[in-house]
Amino acid sequence: MAGFTDKVKIKLISGRGGNGMVAWRREKYVDKGGPAGGDGGRGGDVYLIADEDMTTLTDFTFQSVFKAQNGENGRGKNQHGACGKDLYIKVPIGTVVRDIETNKIIADLNVAEQTVLVAKGGRGGRGNARFATPQKRAPQFCEPGEPSVERFLELELKLIADIGLLGMPNAGKSTLISVISSAKPKIADYPFTTLVPNLGVVKKPTGDGFVVADIPGLIEGASEGTGLGHEFLRHVERCRFLIHVVDLTSVNPLNNYNLINEELKKHDEKLSERYQVVVLNKIDAVDEEYINLIKSEFEKVAEDIFLISAVTQKGIKELLNFLYKKVDEIEKPEIIIETEEDTGAFDNDDSSFVIYKTDKNEYTIDGGKLIRLANVTDSQNFEQIKRFQNIMDSMGVFEALAQAGVKDGDIVKVGHIVFDYYSYNV
């Protein structure tokens, strides 16, 4: 599991809606064919979906920008543009989603196949055929498609495991998980902690199994950010119970046990109350008298204690038989992460605009909706220009121009459309 990643930032872009079309029926023998411009297609939505086959967010370090397909523009003969394909992004089960801009938690994907919409595609614009009425039989205009939604999200993974392994660096957690499960972590005899969590599936005699997570070793001050262990404390929050691995060859085993429990308490009061199985490891490296002495000390603070040697596998069978029963007895804790209504997924309102004075007598207007309207407006068509200016008026553009100091005869530019300003436009 080298390269384990449990927190990433990504950018999502939904599909832009296609523009409507201005077109006319021109078939032979069809008298007064009328408007025939089709609608633009809807832009693709962006979804996050929990995938049980993923265990890390590492893939997002190689790709962090995701874009759904745009809708196609409408065509003549009342042909609508094709809708953009929706984009489904797979994330591990246990992923918490936060909107970086608002700092709101918008989803907790803790069930396989759970899906959440995070960016809605833009609606397709209507073609001129949609604007025909008995009074207005030949509309010369269409609508632009709605813009895409762009969002920056943070994904944070909280591993979904049944049992969490805790212990000081070099306590033997990696060796233990390699013995009892299918996990194959890198193991070496050094006084430093494992750099990444390791997940292993333990098979039960009944054929099913449970997941064990080897959490990187904690040290004193971990809850305040010291060492690496604090980065992974979140991964024990969803465990049914904990296995606390204690190194019998350390200077003060009981003190190490107390230090880690104190760090758990500082991180989350409920974690310190989570049921723990104490595993005194490395009994092959100390004499029996010392083992009995340390065990008697732990019997004062812990209920279930097991003596093992992960290297020689002594005591492993008894430990496993106990775990088989305990994992069925203890239910997973109900972790409720408060989420807020996600209005950002539908935030494709780009009606705001900015006015720049680009020359002595020239003003340029920039704004998503206005630029999109300009893109579907024929500057040589009087009816289209009139409708465009009516929309500008309803949006308060002319009032804003007056406040910006525009004078009669000044030039106003919106995209490719250029016209002279006169106060009667207001």
pLDDT at 114: 95
User: Which are the contacts of 109, defined by CB distance < 8 A and separation ≥ 6?
Assistant: 48, 49, 50, 91, 93, 94, 95, 96, 97, 116
Distances (CA, A) of 254 to 28, 108, 194, 295, 319: 95, 37, 22, 10, 20
Whether 152 contacts 101, CB under 8 Å: yes
Measure the CA angle with vertex 264, ends 160 and 220; round to 5°: 125
User: Which are the contacts of 70, defined by CB distance < 8 A and separation ≥ 6?
Assistant: 15, 16, 17, 18, 43, 44, 84, 148
Q: List the strands of the sheet with 7-13, edge to edge.
A: 65-67, 7-13, 150-157, 95-99, 105-109
CB atoms within 10 A of CB 112: 12
Of 40, 39, 42, nearest to 14 (Cα)?
A: 42
For 147-275, list the strands marked E by DSSP.
Answer: 150-157, 163-166, 198-203, 209-214, 241-247
Distance CA 387, CA 199 (A): 62
Helices 173-180 and 316-329: crossing angle, nearest 10°?
80
Residue 153 β-bridge partners: 10, 99
- Which amino acid would we find at residue 357? K
Distance CA 204, CA 366 (A): 65
According to CATH, what is the number of the domain 7-156?
Answer: 2.70.210.12
Distance CA 279, CA 402 (A): 78
pLDDT at 1: 39
Whether 250 contacts 168, CB under 8 Å: yes
Domain limits, CATH 3.30.300.350, in the chain: 354-425
CA dihedral sign, ordered 212, 217, 222, 228: negative
User: What are 55's two structure tokens?
Assistant: 């265990």
CATH superfamily of 163-329: P-loop containing nucleotide triphosphate hydrolases (3.40.50.300)
Measure the CA angle with vertex 51, ends 49 and 52; round to 5°: 150
Distance CA 85, CA 15 (A): 8
The span from the first CA to the last CA of the chain, in angstroms, equals: 65
Domain limits, CATH 3.40.50.300, in the chain: 163-329
pLDDT at 30: 64
User: Which are the contacts of 89, defined by CB distance < 8 A and separation ≥ 6?
Assistant: 12, 46, 47, 48, 49, 66
pLDDT at 426: 44
pLDDT at 257: 93
To the nearest 10°, report the CA torsion of 391, 394, 395, 397: 90
CATH superfamily of 354-425: GTP-binding protein OBG, C-terminal domain (3.30.300.350)
Give the residue carrying structure tokens 């935030």: 347
Give the residue carrying structure tokens 């992923």: 95
pLDDT at 423: 78
* DSSP-assigned letters across all residues of 127-164: PGGGG--SS-SS-----PPPPPPEEEEEEEE----SEE
**Per-residue model confidence as pLDDT tens for the chain (426 residues):** 344 577 899 999 999 999 999 998 877 766 667 899 999 999 999 999 999 888 788 889 899 999 999 999 999 989 999 999 999 999 988 899 999 999 999 999 988 999 999 999 999 999 999 998 888 888 988 999 999 999 999 998 877 788 988 888 888 888 898 898 876 655 444 444 444 667 778 888 888 888 888 876 555 444 444 443 455 566 677 788 999 999 999 989 999 999 888 888 887 787 778 899 999 999 999 999 999 999 999 999 999 999 999 999 999 999 999 999 999 999 887 767 778 888 788 888 888 899 999 888 899 999 888 998 998 898 888 888 998 999 999 999 999 999 999 999 999 999 999 999 987 644
Distance CA 279, CA 244 (A): 6
Q: List the strands of the sheet with 198-203, edge to edge.
A: 198-203, 209-214, 163-166, 241-247, 276-281, 305-307
pLDDT at 193: 44
pLDDT at 31: 65
Domain limits, CATH 2.70.210.12, in the chain: 7-156
